[in-house]
Amino acid sequence: MWRDDGLSVGPKGRPPERNAPHLAPPAAAPSAFLQGPYRFVLHYVVGRRWQFAALLLTVAGAAGCAVAVQYVMKLLVDGMAGPREASAAVWSALVMFVTFIAGESVLWRVTGWLACRTTLSVGVDMRLDLFSYLNGQPMRYFADNLAGSLGQRLTATAGNFGALTNTIVWRILPPCIEFIGALVIFLTVDWRMMLVLAVIVTAVTGGLIWFGERGRPLHRTYAGHAGVVAGDLVDVITNMWAVKSFSARAREADRLAKGFRQEAFAQRRSWLYLEKARALHDIALWIMAGSMLSWAVHLWSVGQITPGDVVVVSTLTFRILNSSRDLALSLVETAQYVGYIEDTLQVIAQPQSVVDAPNAKQLVAKGGAVELRNVRFSYGDNRSDTLHRLNLRIPAGQKVGIVGPSGAGKSTLVHLLQRLYDVHSGEVLIDGQPLTEVKQDSLRAALAVVPQEITLFHRTLMENIRFARPEATDEEVYAAARAACCDAFIRATPDGYNTLVGERGMKLSGGQRQRIGIARAFLKDAPIIILDEATSALDTESEMEIQRSLVRLMRGRTVIAVAHRLSTLTAFDRIIVVKGGQIVEDGTATELRQRGGLFETMWRLQAEGLSVDEAENAA
């Protein structure tokens, strides 16, 4: 049954079935452009089509000038081989020669400027897009993936795109354009030479491309090892206190060495695959160059071509063949870059399990009433329910404490209120609005949450507290700090509120970090405040003082506090006792003690110096 004030009176109480449960939206597949490396790259090329088109034109112009220089060299040699009276043709050829060289130089400089601006801009967009998708992943995703590895992948992907663009601009497009120009020039010399050049260069380049694609798994494997090793290294550095405390420096160095060796082995296989491609091309270059030059000399000896033709055939043959080697190897390298990008997308672009519904609306916070209807949830498909058919109503403005042994479902309950996970069945509502029907950001804007483990940014104390409400004044920050009992220790530091806290707040003690987290929650001034064992690192006196501040400052606001020390909840309106994923007791501290149930047993045993878990076991 339900009391008139809306409070449940026992685990068997059930709210009436008013509506069918609102199902969570299905897991969202990543956007189409994140579903493959080629789509990913094409998305950014199309997004800046005019810049890339201009880049293509400047590369084509510069490479065309390079081919024209070779043809003008033929005219210059033929002019010099003729009668001296025809010196005007020689001087004309010389002017064109100098002009094309100057044009090629100018166009390459313009190409460099365009490539720099375009690739760097795309790199910024790429990292922002990947981060935007990444921060939509549920918290379990971040528990399963190292932060250092994820950050390295985001940065490396932008770098790999830049390397891919530079490879195409400087080492793939120019040989292709020069090859087309060479075919035109060879056609003026001997159509058979043009045909042979076209067939052989196409065959060699195509073969090396095929060879390069076969090596893509090797490159992807190397990229995967590199990401794991980078993340592992950051993880060890982040936990250096534990490494030193447990005399694990040598042990961790050995473990990292194993990972480094595995990465080096994968890199060696990827690297040597490129060397095989180089060896194959060197053989083709030797055969092709010797054959074409011998053919040109033979045609000159029978008077079918001029000395200028021999010069242009020899220079273009070597240039095209050397360029084709760069082209082929660059195409193999592009397979590497694509492999790196593909590896990142496989990790980052996983389907998001907690997403906004297509028609999701903004949460309209009216007072902070919370309701869970017949909620069932577990962290794995093959595990028993963490919460099982749980029903709970918290009227707006009520101060509620949640207690129970470890694993009872207390933290899970507050995670579901933040929609860090979606329930398997049932529904969670705030002010009568199902969480699956509102936007996640608007939901969390209505919540001020203080977890047990406070993680701070490597910024000043002022910035960390103001993070909750960037527009807050200094006086509002000071007031929140005083309410959280941290103003005194902040002012005692050399730089006061301008003190940097170190990575994850490591310069502060656990209790100091918790006070900063509580001050941040106070400053947010949200209609619902959630404390998930947020004062566990504080002494009893400080904890009770903060709880009194909660009752005073949060008047008219809903407070949900998971706490270990039962005595700190005596001023709360109501206490929920959770065991085995269900509510087993519900009432004020006085009522629960008078009933002589589990809460009274835990209270009595905790008074004797036992923890909540020990009290539960003893009970």
Per-residue pLDDT tens over the stretch 126-141: 888 888 888 877 777 7
Closest CA to 523 of 462, 487, 589, 472: 472
**Is residue 559 included in any domain, yes or no?**
no
Give the model confidence (pLDDT) of 70-97 as tens digits. 777 777 776 666 555 556 666 777 788 7
pLDDT on residue 33:
67
pLDDT at residue number 81: 63
pLDDT at residue 50, as a whole number: 92
- How many CB atoms neighbour CB 260 within 10 A? 15
Instruction: With respect to residue 217, please indicate whether it lies within any of the assigned structural domains.
Output: yes
Residue 132 lies in a domain: yes
In a domain, 282, yes or no: yes
* Contact in structure between 594 and 604 (CB atoms under 8 Å): no
Q: Confirm whether 113 is domain-assigned.
A: yes
Q: What letter represents residue 619's amino acid? A: A
| pLDDT for res 388 | 83
Under the banding of pLDDT at 50, 70 and 90, the label for residue 474 is very high
Kindly indicate the confidence band of residue 429, based on its pLDDT and cuts at 50, 70 and 90: very high
- Average model confidence (pLDDT) for the chain? 79
Q: Judge whether 91 lies within some domain.
A: yes
CATH code of residue 305: 1.20.1560.10
Alpha-helical segments (H) within 448-596: 461-466, 474-483, 487-492, 510-524, 540-553, 589-595
| Count: domains in the chain | 1
Domain of 174, in residue numbers:
34-348
φ, ψ of residue 576 to 5 degrees: the values are -105, 130
**Is 309 inside a domain boundary?**
yes
User: Span 583-589, mean pLDDT?
Assistant: 88
Report helix, strand or coil for 587.
strand
Q: Is residue 387 part of a domain?
A: no
Q: Pick the residue with more confidence: 601 or 8?
A: 601
Closest C-alpha among 543, 524, 523 to residue 479: 523
HSE, side-chain direction, 13 A CA sphere, residue 151:
9
- The reported pLDDT for the residue numbered 381 is 59
Other CB atoms within a 10 A radius of the CB of residue 145 amount to 18
pTM (two decimals): 0.66
pLDDT tens string 135-188? 877 777 777 777 777 887 888 888 888 888 888 888 888 888 888 887 888 777
